[in-house]
Amino acid sequence: MTIWLNGALLDDAQARISVFDHGLTVGDGVFETVKVTGGMPFALTRHLRRLGTSAAGLGLPAPEPEVISAGVFAVLKASGNPDRARLRITVTGGESPLGSQRGRGPLTVVIALGELNDWGASCDAVTVPWLRNERGALTGIKTTSYAENVRALGYAAERGATEAIFANTHGNLCEGTGSNVFLVSGGELVTPPLTAGCLAGVTRALLLEWFGGVERDVPVAELGAASEAFLVSTTRDIQPIRAVDGAALPAAPGPVTRDAARTFAARAALSCDP
Ligand SMILES: Cc1ncc(COP(=O)(O)O)c(C=O)c1O
């Protein structure tokens, strides 16, 4: 496996970072997961833009999009331009003192490839007893501080589910651990607005552009009462939700989900960098 680490292409056995890296010690970093299909990264421009926004949100110097993009294509080439893969770009605060204070040295930048997992035809989701803070310092930033998501996904797995859904401090629907949520309620396709505290998902934005949908606050209980619902993300595209908290929704996929998935696939096939 070839890794791009701070500008060098290395075998994964040689790619090493410091035990004092601030990403490791305190989760001070940002990342992107990019889908690779047919040897090409999907929506790389949007992912690089969000990486820059996330870095700015965390007060990290913005990584040069051209440099990261060159790294992405170098890793893909060195790996034989795989047909299906998951590409991960990670930028951390670099070597730092122990504690929250960031060091003054260079950032750590890693580009790595992994397997694109198959999420299955539908998803069982559970709501979790922990809240997303829609007004937190890290709200809407794709940081490497994902332990809360790890915990929530573990909670979901203990209940036989594959995604955990967070409400925010107002009791409104926010997002999944690695996905945005859409539901059909009152005959209307709706998704929480970014002010609900969710990540500005690339898939969410593309679907809103290509298919439409209303952005409005949704009391979390509305999800379980939806006529249909689905998750969207880079690795899932559009995945129907079969059940919420153990109660099956009327259809998975329902007609709107099916249409949304069809539209998304057709539009995504037109360009790898929409
Ligand atoms: C917390 C969170 N919300 C939403 C998403 C979906 O975003 P995207 O469509 O850009 O993958 C992700 C992606 O992993 C995520 O981690």
**Closest to 104 (Cα-Cα) out of 61, 55, 68:** 61
Task: Compute the distance from residue 213 Cα to the ligand 1 centre, in Å.
Answer: 18
Q: Which atom of ligand 1 is nearest to the CA of 232?
A: 9
Q: Are 153 and 271 in contact (CB under 8 A)?
A: no
Task: Compute the distance from residue 104 Cα to the ligand 1 centre, in Å.
Answer: 30
Task: Compute the distance from residue 97 Cα to the ligand 1 centre, in Å.
Answer: 30
pTM of the model: 0.98
**Closest to 252 (Cα-Cα) out of 203, 206, 183, 159:** 183
Q: Are 246 and 222 in contact (CB under 8 A)?
A: no
Task: Compute the distance from residue 102 Cα to the ligand 1 centre, in Å.
Answer: 26
Cα angle for residues 256, 259, 264 (degrees, 5° grid): 125
Which residue's alpha carbon is nearest to atom 4 within ligand 1? 179
Which of 117, 180, 182, 210 to mutate to test ligand 1, by most ligand atoms within 8 A of the CB atom? 180
Structure tokens at 83: 């047909």
Dihedral in degrees, nearest 10, Cα atoms 257, 268, 44, 78: 110
Task: Compute the distance from residue 56 Cα to the ligand 1 centre, in Å.
Answer: 18
Structure tokens at 62: 């913005």
Q: How far apart are CA 183 and CA 195, in angstroms?
A: 17
Which of 166, 234, 236, 239 to mutate to test ligand 1, by most ligand atoms within 8 A of the CB atom? 234
Q: How far apart are CA 160 and CA 162, in angstroms?
A: 7
Q: Which atom of ligand 1 is nearest to the CA of 177?
A: 1
Print pLDDT tens along the chain (274 aa).
899 999 999 999 999 999 999 999 999 999 999 999 999 999 999 999 999 999 999 999 988 999 999 999 999 999 999 999 999 999 999 999 999 999 999 999 999 999 998 999 999 999 999 999 999 999 999 999 999 999 999 999 999 999 999 999 999 999 999 999 999 999 999 999 999 999 999 999 999 999 999 999 999 999 999 999 999 999 999 999 999 999 999 999 999 999 999 999 999 999 999 9
pLDDT of residue 1: 86
3-class DSSP state of 167:
strand
Secondary structure of 209-235 in the HEC alphabet?
A: HHCCCEECCCECHHHHCCCEEEEEECC
pLDDT of residue 62: 85
Please provide residue 129's backbone torsions phi and psi, each rounded to the nearest 5 degrees: -80, 5
Q: Indicate if ligand 1 lies below 6 Å from the C-beta of 202.
A: yes
Q: Indicate if ligand 1 lies below 6 Å from the C-beta of 185.
A: no
Q: Indicate if ligand 1 lies below 6 Å from the C-beta of 139.
A: no
pLDDT of residue 238: 98
